Structure 1
């Protein structure tokens, strides 16, 4: 029986490269995207490139908690289990603070609440796998987050777009650690959860995420260097996907949970502002927000 992997944000960049790699490895790959035409095109490209016909797609706007719930329902109706969930989708936005229709600041909605809710909804399917793996995309930028204000988890303060992003990626690590402990407390050893950092990667991430002209310019220059210049300022998407592919497929990772990974190796995340109590507060906040959709 083929392993089934679901990858969010898989119509471009790291997500797409991860889908290609897992399809080449013989897995049944489910690609998530926001645009149906683009998702269909990527499915066609992956099937053509790999010769693996078992590539499907699901459509959802991850800024919407209701849409995430609907996608999880569709997955559970179509598939009898899930082996790997890769919460790859994420973005950094410009300095103007914007809320979703659910009243959630956009960075927190996409980077933290979306993977939190999707994982909760798909956990029953992951429990049906003999080796269920949850991979949450974080970033080394969490080290530059500054001290989080646990009374302002909807990031309503005077934050830059980059700081909101860094904080969101710190919270992803804390949620990953917390979920690993909860699974262990329930005696669940066949489902693991880990966080990953892809490195500075040349994708469309910078332009697609509405950062503003200065940051976009930096990304465009780095992207050009990585594609055409001798300096390779940013890793190619294939290399950026390598850690997620490793976490999804390597036998050496089986049973390891709650860790932070980069370059396919365990790394120590920043602990300067960490406390178990604050980790619990972030978890409780996420659970409270998504509770109506569970």
Structure 2
């Protein structure tokens, strides 16, 4: 069955690789990006390279909850169902803490709140799929997260770019787990949710903002090493698990799991995990996004 697949952050890096591969396989692919010209240029490129005319674009700034809501409404006006939602967009921001116009810290907004909001807003078209899949892109960096402070969800007391990123990716794994139980509680059996990490891949990720000297050097060294050793970490390898989770029959019905960059189930770091913490996190995030839900 050919799927309708929406990929956020698909104009660069792993999202772009996944979009090309999935279009080549004949699926309908909707490319999300912030820049209209860039997204449309990629759309044209993919159509030319793959011969697949079912490639579309959707533009939104995921640092804006109102834009996320508009994006979801636009998608639902064009498509009756959604088979795969790939929450791929994410970032590590600069060394100085920044907030959005909503007052939420940027890392948490892009990596946690917006994917959760978009997923909730698109649930009505996901449930119309015979077998829908939600794929949340986490990171092995989640293993570096310190004990979460649920009284400081906006990281006002303790912010660093790497710390914020690690925490956001840990949260994404917990939210994916909780989504499994929420779906079951609502009697939804045809929608699954899984998280994955792409490994260190040769993309431009992490090279736009000043994160401090040492962190900047780490990201630049990955880029340099990948050019010297092309097989070290290609974007194609980085996108492989995402593509697998979107299409493989082997994971039909599998939900709430975390997959490594070799398409295998992996146990995430659970030293800070508890069912209670998972529920606290879910409720806290729902409180943030609730004003933008169609309730």
Q: Shorter-chain TM-score: what band?
A: over 0.9
Q: Mapping of 1:35-54 within 5 angstroms?
A: 35-54=35-54
> Alpha carbons of 1:212 and 1:40: their partners in 2 closer, same or farther (altered >3 Å)?
farther
Q: CA deviation at 1:45?
A: 1.3
For residues 28 and 107 of structure 2, the distance between their equivalents in structure 1, rounded to whole angstroms, comes to 30
Alignment correspondent of 2:292: 293
Deviations 1:26-56 (A, max 9, x none): 1000000000000011111111111101100
For residues 29 and 176 of structure 2, the distance between their equivalents in structure 1, rounded to whole angstroms, comes to 23
Alignment correspondent of 1:218: 218
State whether residues 200 and 222 of structure 2, in contact with CA within 8 Å, keep that contact through their aligned partners in structure 1.
no
Alignment correspondent of 1:177: 177
Q: CA deviation at 1:209?
A: 4.5
State whether residues 92 and 210 of structure 1, in contact with CA within 8 Å, keep that contact through their aligned partners in structure 2.
no
Q: CA deviation at 1:24?
A: 0.9
Alignment correspondent of 1:137: 137
State whether residues 91 and 209 of structure 1, in contact with CA within 8 Å, keep that contact through their aligned partners in structure 2.
no
> Alpha carbons of 1:74 and 1:140: their partners in 2 closer, same or farther (altered >3 Å)?
same
State whether residues 26 and 52 of structure 1, in contact with CA within 8 Å, keep that contact through their aligned partners in structure 2.
yes
For residues 61 and 112 of structure 2, the distance between their equivalents in structure 1, rounded to whole angstroms, comes to 14
Q: CA deviation at 1:213?
A: 4.1
1:116 is paired with a residue whose SS is helix
For residues 158 and 5 of structure 1, the distance between their equivalents in structure 2, rounded to whole angstroms, comes to 37
For residues 242 and 109 of structure 1, the distance between their equivalents in structure 2, rounded to whole angstroms, comes to 26
2:259 aligned with 1:247 = no
Q: Mapping of 1:87-166 within 5 angstroms?
A: 87-166=87-166
For residues 252 and 232 of structure 1, the distance between their equivalents in structure 2, rounded to whole angstroms, comes to 27
Which portions of structure 1, spanning 4 or more consecutive aligned residues, are displaced by more than 3 angstroms? 230-233
Q: CA deviation at 1:266?
A: 0.5
Which TM-score applies when normalising by structure 2?
A: 0.96
**The 10-residue stretch of structure 1 (151-160 or 275-284) with the greater mean CA deviation from structure 2:** 151-160
Q: CA deviation at 1:155?
A: 1.2
Alignment correspondent of 1:266: 265
Which TM-score applies when normalising by structure 1?
A: 0.96
Aligned length: 292
State whether residues 153 and 282 of structure 1, in contact with CA within 8 Å, keep that contact through their aligned partners in structure 2.
no
Unaligned runs of 5+ in 1: none
Unaligned runs of 5+ in 2: none
Q: CA deviation at 1:187?
A: 2.4
1:266 is paired with a residue whose SS is coil
For residues 60 and 33 of structure 1, the distance between their equivalents in structure 2, rounded to whole angstroms, comes to 6
